[in-house]
Structure 1
Amino acid sequence: MNISKHEQRVLHALAQGGRIQHRRCPATGRIVAADCFTREGHVLSDCTLGQFKKLKRRGLIASSGGQPYRVTRLGLVSVRGQLDNR
């Protein structure tokens, strides 16, 4: 699967325990913003709404029970290893 550099960065942060929190428009209920947080609580600026939608459409991230979005098993398999793995 072809995954861009920015998508790899987001998936890597999620694989290490990060999360994506989204905000919905009160009138329409559509997602209008998505913020990616690392496990330390820092905001990852590479995660845009377009990238969020692309990762969600491909099934690389998912939410269950109204919780923040996390990486799926397919997302873990798709992400390449990075130098800062622990």
Structure 2
Amino acid sequence: MNISKAEQRVLHVLALGGLIRHEFDDRGRLSDVTCFTRDGLVLADCDMALFQRLRRRRLIGSLGGAPYRITLKGRRAVRAQPDNQG
């Protein structure tokens, strides 16, 4: 599967325990997404277009309104990266 560097970065953060919180507007439509690392830091390059691509490819998912997390398909698609938390 062809995955861009930005998609890889977000999937790697999610694979390490991060999550994507989503917010709705008053009409019930998805209005904003924020990607958090497991340490609570915000990943700045996760925008709505990137989120929609990951969701459309079913690399991330949400159950019952919970924050979005990486799926099994997403775990298989992400390349291994060295962790800099030494």
Aligned to 1:9: 9
CA distance in 2, matches of 1:11, 1:46: 12
Does 1:38 find its partner at 2:37?
Answer: yes
Q: Which amino acid aligns with 2:70?
A: V
In structure 1, stretches of 5+ residues that fail to align are none
Identity over aligned residues, as a percent?
A: 55
- Where has structure 1 moved over 4 Å in runs of 4 or more? none
TM-score normalised by L of structure 1: 0.94
Paired residues in the alignment total: 85
RMSD: 1.2
TM-score normalised by L of structure 2: 0.94
In structure 2, stretches of 5+ residues that fail to align are none
CA distance in 2, matches of 1:43, 1:37: 5
